[in-house]
Structure 1
Amino acid sequence: MNVPANGLYFVSYEILTNEYKRRFNRPNVDLIPAIIAGGLAGIFYWIGGMPADVLKSRLQSAPEGKFNNIRAVFKDLLKNDGMTALYRGFTPVILRAFPANAATFFGIELANAVFRQLAPDF
């Protein structure tokens, strides 16, 4: 279930940082653009991953025996709550996703910058 969301996460980060490097003729991404790209990557992750997460949570929290599989959860959700229920709670998830993922990629790019200084030819 996480494969599409992780694909959106890493691909969007790479696209955003590569576009920054291309536009500004930079060999590496700077820290502020990494923070912005990381935060946006987190948002893209949840856009793609939230429906699967909602279904998983409903399956896990249901009384034992209510659902046989994830398909049954999906049918029940559509029947009782509609398609928009797949994104219920989206705003708080996004508000948390941006800073959390911005910090993650900030740390990655900071570590990359340190490693480039310590071992420039590696």
Structure 2
Amino acid sequence: MERLDGPRLGPATARDRLAGFAAGIASGATKLLVGHPFDTVKVRCQIEGGHGRFSGPINCIVRTVRQEGPRALYKGASAPLVGWAAMDAVQLGSLSNYRLLLQGSDRARRLTHLDHALAGLGAGWTVALVATPVEIVKMRLQVQYASGAARTYRGPIDVARHLARAYGPLGLWHGLHATMAQRSFFFALWGSYDVYSAWLRARRLPEHLVNFLAGGMAANTFWTLCYPVDVVKNRYMTQPDPAPISFVRMFSHVYRTEGPSGFFRGFVPAFIRSFPTNASAILVWETTTRLIKDAGRQ
């Protein structure tokens, strides 16, 4: 029985290969606007741990706004402003091209759920090269609580200089292996997105609603599975320099100092954020991709 998987693709063209990259820029901008305040709360809760300055996500929001003002929820946003657009362009553009690669010369063949998952894995490892510098700069600014002369970093450029002094010319890629480990879960993100999309299309929902709902559900699946690795990655990448604890040893450190619950600090804001942020971003990506491809056929 033929699987419901959307319209068949015609022969791959240069426009097809570039559409995902262009649409990814729109997706990244959407993600920043909707999701950055949630991300700030998530990162602060993750880094502070169970014995830090916040008793939970709500307390983090209240204290952040009260002590630093509402704009503090967008701390570190200047890096993602460009970075998330670049990250989504690379992630979604490479995802589209890995799908085309897996499809091969048989343009009539529909990709399986496993094919989509493998394309997601490849996209995750590819985007890690861009995501690592963006995320390490963003997180170090997000967990900087002091202001004025007491600040460790004056801004993104100062973070980059500090990392170069601590780790050499490739300092901005400190934690690349940790980011690749976390982005490996894109296997689950894009595999489940295809599963959810097929299930929703079978119920004859409009395509834009399929994109939105499947994107949100896939994001929830992704964060549920990868969250412990994300916590460890972020703890590792925001340590004092040079990092005293390795990425692998950080797993045992978190467990020894906080127990199993330490791997889920900040999970609630991350889970809540993941649905609207990624549902909106994937809807924008899918819609923009279709518009670009349709314009090329006219």
1:22 deviates by 2.8
1:15 maps to 195
1:91 deviates by 0.6
Name the CA distance, whole Å, in 1 between partners of 2:203 and 2:212: 17
Q: Which of the two has higher C-alpha Rg?
A: 2
1:49 maps to 226
Aligned mate of 1:72, from 249, 255, 278: 249
Name the CA distance, whole Å, in 2 between partners of 1:109 and 1:55: 32
Name the CA distance, whole Å, in 1 between partners of 2:248 and 2:285: 37
C-alpha distance 30-61 of structure 1, shift in aligned 2 (>3 A): same
SS of 1:105's equivalent?
helix
CA offsets 1:87-116 (integer angstroms, 9 cap, x no match) = 111110111111111111211232344356
Q: Letter of the aligned partner of 2:261 in structure 1?
A: T
1:97 maps to 274
Q: Letter of the aligned partner of 2:236 in structure 1?
A: L
2:284 maps to 107
* Kept in 1: contact 2:182–2:233 (CA 8 A): no
Q: TM-score, normalised by structure 1?
A: 0.80
Q: Letter of the aligned partner of 1:31 in structure 2?
A: H
Report whether the alignment pairs 1:87 with 2:267.
no
Name the CA distance, whole Å, in 1 between partners of 2:253 and 2:296: 56
Q: TM-score, normalised by structure 2?
A: 0.36
Percent of residue pairs identical: 22
Structure 1, unpaired ranges of 5+ = none
Q: Letter of the aligned partner of 2:190 in structure 1?
A: F
Q: Report the RMSD for the aligned CA atoms in angstroms.
A: 2.3
Name the CA distance, whole Å, in 2 between partners of 1:70 and 1:90: 20
Structure 2, unpaired ranges of 5+ = 1-180
C-alpha distance 111-86 of structure 1, shift in aligned 2 (>3 A): same
1:2 maps to 182
Name the CA distance, whole Å, in 2 between partners of 1:30 and 1:43: 20
Q: Letter of the aligned partner of 1:81 in structure 2?
A: E
SS of 2:271's equivalent?
helix
Q: Using CA pairs below 8 Å that are at least 6 residues apart, which structure has the higher relative contact order?
A: 1
Query: Number of matched residues?
Result: 117
